[in-house]
Structure formats: C-alpha cells, structure tokens
Structure 1
Amino acid sequence: IRYFKRVLTDGPVSRINFCTIPERDIGEDIPVYGTYDEEFRNSLKPYIDNLCMASGLVECKEAFHLAEVLKDENAEFSRLSQDRVYENLSFRANVIGYLKACVLYVANGYQWEPEIEDFIRWSERYDIYCKMRFFGDAIKKAERDGDQESKKGPASILAFLPDKFSYQQVETLRLKNDMNAKGTAKMLRNWLHRGYIEKEESDSVTQKLSDSVYFKTHS
C-alpha cells in the first residue's frame, strides 16, 4: 500500500492484476504447490506452442460475451452497494479478465471450454476482491481528500481586494493564499499593464509601488 499511496487515484492500481499468497510463519520453508516435473512440462508444451504460433487479430466471441455478462454483474453490484471505488476498479478488471480469456482460448487451440469461463469468472472476482481488500479504503480516503481540496478551486486574487487598496493589503492576501511576498510587485505591474487596476494620482513622481494606493478599473 505504501508503494502505491501516491498514485491511488491515477490508474496503476486498477491496471495491475492482483493476487495474494498464503501467509506463513517467519523462517518456514517456502511452500511448493503442485508437481512441476517432466510430465507436467510435456503436458503444457502444446499450449505454449499454440501461443507461440499465434499471430494477427484474435477474436473470441465467447470471451467477449463473458466480458459483457461480467460487466453487467459488476454494474448490478455497484448499484446495490453504491460503491464508486468498486465500480471504477471493476472496469479495468473486466478488461484484464477478457484478455486472459483470449489467451486461454488461443492456448487451447482456439477452442472455448466451460472451464475457461469458470476460471475467468473466479479470476476477475478475486482480482477485484484483492484491490478492494488492500486499497479500497485508501482510495476512498484519497478521493475524499481530493474533493475537499478541489472545492476551493482557483480564484481571482483581485476579487478578494476592496475597490481601493494598498500594496500591503495585496501582499497580505498573497501570503494568506500560500504565495510569496516577493511576487507582489510583479503581479501589480502586470495588473497595471493589463488595465485591471490604476494607481491613485500622487504629487510624488518617483512614488514606489509599495507606497502607492490602487483602485480597480472595474468590479
């Protein structure tokens, strides 16, 4: 979670297919599941060969139909749960499931079997479960924080000043909005050049910006 905390709402989490491994005690031997001997490699070889020989565009109507079904099921659960994070994560999980189905279809010699559908259905559910289990709450928090920040939105500094104001008032307002005081003079010169404000006339020809009084040319 720490690795993804800065990109929780940017897409990487949804684009990765997640899974877990069984927890074990510290120091225990790494478990090995299944027997991967010569017999296993020989039985797997035809599927690998099919994948290696594949080329061009592959279309599998069964995989597409399954993706449509799972999409509708995900949408139904989203409506019932009213969980926006689940809905967003389900979109990419559905694409991942479809691509997996196409790979298995090709590996199986362009033959669709019920076992492929069963695996894809389980795989997609498991993928979404892992994402919700490990990232769901963090994504929701990041989105809430983002909403709170975005509600402030950009605003015109000039709009917060009275019709007649001093250099010091502008400087104070900049500091209040997390801007540096150093840029006050440059901003005022820009406003003067654009005609947003004018300087109040003074007998002093060499009056500095910091000593001047300004007024808005329009509200």
Structure 2
Amino acid sequence: MKYDITTNKVPEMPNLGKGTECIKLLLTQASKDMHEPLVPMLFPSLGAHISGAEFQYPDRSWKEMCGQMANLVGGSGCNKGQLTELTKAICRDFSLHDETEMKKLREWAKISNSKSKSKDGPVKPDTPIFLPPANTTSAGFLENAIALETAGGRTQLFNFPEVEMADQLCGSHKYMSHLLRNIYDMAQAGALRATANGVSGNPTLRACITLSGVPVTVRKFYKNELHNGTFGRMVFSYKPREATRSGHIPRRGEFADNFYQQLDTYMARLDMTKGRFIIRPLNKLIDRLAQDMATLADLVDDDVLWDVSKRSLVSAWKAGCILWVLNTQTWTKAMGELVEWLVYHDLWSKMQIFADMLKDGDVNIQETSKAGPKNMLDSLPNNFNEAQLEALRLESGKNKEGTKAQLRQWVHRKFIEYSAQTGLYSKTEAYLKGNS
C-alpha cells in the first residue's frame, strides 16, 4: 500500500503529471494551502458536464458520471470558499444556459398572470436548470429533475457553502439521508407529481453535489448517517488545522481571460462525450486497489473501513473516467497515481473526522477524531505470540475471540509466518520491506 492512513499525517498528493493538466489549470486559481483539499471537490462539478455517456465499472455494471457527492471540511476561515469560486468557473456555461431558461420562465409568468382568469393561458415551458441555487426546495428539485430528463438526461449540480443547506433540498434533515442515497444510486424519484397540466414525474435523479462545513457542524450533520450507507457514498476532503499560525494571507488566482480560454477547451471535451466506454487501465487499477483495501482492513481488523472503502473506490473510479475524457480519452500513469491518492485521501479524511463516532457510536461532536484505524501488526514486535495480539486487541476495544481468525488472515496474506518450533509468529521479509 502506497499510503498510510493510520496516522494523523495527511496523505501527500502525487505530482500532477501528464494527463492531469485540467486539474493543474484549476489549481492555478486556488491558494497553495488549498490545493490538496480542493482536488477531490472538483470532480462532481466536472462530472455534471458529461451526459449521454456510460462507463463500465470492473463489476461490469454501466455507470453515468452523475451521483458524485463530496464534502469539504475545514476550520472557519480556512479558505473553503475557494470551492465556490472554482465551481462558478467550471460551470460558467451552466450559468449562461440557466439565465436563458429563467428568462423564458419569467416571460411565461408575466403572460400567465395577465391571463389568470382565462382558459387560454400559455403552457408553462420546460426550463431545465443546470446549476440551481442553494436554497432550492425539494419540490423545485423534483420539478427540475423532470425538466432535465426531458432535456436528454442532463445533470443538475448543487454547491452548498454550508452543509446544513442540504436539508432544505430534502425537505428536512429527516429525509436528507434517503435523498442523498437515491442521488448517488441514480434512482428514480419514486412518486408521481401532480402539476397544472396533469400528472407527471418519476424522473431519474441525476445530480452532483458539493458541500462545505466546519468539523463540528459536519459531525453533527452526519452523526445519524454513519451506518446506513449515506456516509460511505459521500467523498470527504479534510483540511486539518495548521500546526503553526502564519501571518501570511494566501493568494488566490485572478480568473483572467486566458484561464477561461484554456478551461473552455476542457469543458468542451466533457460536453461532447457520448456513448459507452470501457477504460481498461483504470479498471485494472481499481481491481488492484480493491485488493489493497482488503489488505488494509485485515491489518486494522475494521469492517467499517472495509465497507466504506468499496464506495471510495467507485468515487475515485468516476474521477478517473473524467480525467480520461479530459485527456482526450487517453490514460497515463500520472492519472492512475491521482486516482489511487483519491481513494486513500477520502478514507483518511473520513477517519480523521469520524473515527471515534464510527467505533463507539459516540455522539460527541465538539472535535474531529484523533484516533484513526490502527495497524495492529505494526504495533507488535517482529516476533510475537498469540497472547500478545490478544492483549493488543483488547486494548484496542476488540474482542479476544477474533484473535485466531486475524492470525489466520495475516498468515494467508503472507504478512506473518508461524514457527511450530518456537510457537511464535514472525513478520515476513515482504511485509517488513513493504512497510519500511
């Protein structure tokens, strides 16, 4: 495994090499301290530009690029607002489209009101909005989903500067979890909708979402959603508090004309992508990372980590599909390195923010977690016996009954080997070399 997420140290993002030029271009408009936290947050906005295209996941299912959701987490005043600036830049074409559609709607409303008592009033036009405002209601979301489906299955993108704003979209926090899961799974709305023109509405929910929030608020928002699948579907990107206080004010970009000219070239590639695609190098990478996730889960003996890693793989795979399109449908090593980092950064962020709540069901929301998954094999000496692992498991809050099964799994994965002569387990050379 390339990254260690069992420590508080942020997994270092790889160099953005060949094939990641669009991401590098976007980062020129962000302050350097926000480069790593912002990269995972860019893909929902980029993915919302791809419609009419499907990509085959390694399990042979076909997936669209909608349903991507990511949450930026950091302290107050840490420059999270730069995400909104970049979203506006990426979605400049969305805003122009929406302005035209809203003009149609205003004209219809004006004429309709003047003929309110007449049966000959104009039919309300379909006005699909690509970038709805953050205060969109649940009824407005569903109505827009119908219009977007009529417009060819387009995706609506929401950017919530504060995580609590998502509740309004869902009607209330009670229904937030269900709606977010349906968006991720590209489910249908599941209900008919009565309109002035008759009964309509059971659209496929095509949406991408980005959210931002401070750790306390984010922990409170998700505290009841950690084990129902909502948590795993959301990508998290955490910016920890800096160790030292700096008087330097970070510099942002200027969003000059030449930046937009370059960006428009990449946006055109996304908009023109239609059809079905299989990206074999990406799928091979995801298969290998799935093995790494199993290895990681065995080292820490953590079923929750194992469960959420499966959707971290899907989210990173979707980012890989977008990178492939941006790079004129060509795969590179640097793109693979970035996809791998996205998997580990998501898991590291989740554990930094929620590890204590995942482990103990703790509803204390005042601090981010300081205790991520623990690599128990690293905590043991190179030569150890069963009793030492049993004691370590008890110390880590795990039951002693799982000791033998964990030892068998470690032997199976060739992390350790057993000596019947000494009765001791020893870390293998391959394991020690891989963790040196």
Q: TM-score, length-normalised on structure 2? A: 0.30
**What is aligned with 1:133?**
352
Q: Name the amino acid aligned to 1:56.
A: G
**Percent sequence identity over aligned pairs:** 25
Measured after TM superposition, the shift of residue 18 of structure 1 is 0.8
Taking the aligned partners of 1:74 and 1:35, their CA distance within structure 2 comes to 40
Measured after TM superposition, the shift of residue 71 of structure 1 is 0.8
Taking the aligned partners of 2:267 and 2:337, their CA distance within structure 1 comes to 21
Q: Are 1:85 and 2:308 matched, yes or no?
A: no
Measured after TM superposition, the shift of residue 84 of structure 1 is 1.4
Equivalences, count: 142
Taking the aligned partners of 1:30 and 1:124, their CA distance within structure 2 comes to 31
**What is aligned with 1:19?**
237
Structure 2 residue runs without a partner (length 5+): 1-218, 363-436
**Cα distance change, pair 3–55 in 1 and its aligned pair in 2 (3 A):** same
User: Which of 109, 112, 134 is 2:328 aligned to?
Assistant: 109
Measured after TM superposition, the shift of residue 125 of structure 1 is 0.7
**Cα distance change, pair 88–34 in 1 and its aligned pair in 2 (3 A):** farther
**What is aligned with 2:226?**
8
**Cα distance change, pair 32–90 in 1 and its aligned pair in 2 (3 A):** farther
Q: Deviations over 1:62-119 (max 9, x none)?
A: 1111111111111111111111121111110001011110111011110111111111
Give runs of aligned pairs for residues 45-64 of structure 1, distance below 5 A: 45-64=264-283
**What is aligned with 1:121?**
340
- Higher-Rg member (1/2): 1
Report 1 or 2 for greater relative contact order, CA contacts < 8 Å, sequence distance ≥ 6: 2
Measured after TM superposition, the shift of residue 133 of structure 1 is 1.1
**Cα distance change, pair 40–142 in 1 and its aligned pair in 2 (3 A):** same
Q: Name the amino acid aligned to 1:5.
A: K
Q: TM-score, length-normalised on structure 1? A: 0.58
Q: Name the amino acid aligned to 2:323.
A: L
Q: Name the amino acid aligned to 2:326.
A: A
Q: Deviations over 1:30-81 (max 9, x none)?
A: 8444554322222222221110001122221111111111111111111111
Return the structure number with greater strand share: 2
RMSD in angstroms over aligned alpha carbons? 2.5
- Give 3-state SS (helix, strand or coil) of 1:20's partner: strand
8 Å CA contact 1:51, 1:107 repeated in 2:
yes
Q: Name the amino acid aligned to 2:356.
A: D
User: Which of 73, 77, 98 is 2:292 aligned to?
Assistant: 73
Measured after TM superposition, the shift of residue 10 of structure 1 is 0.7
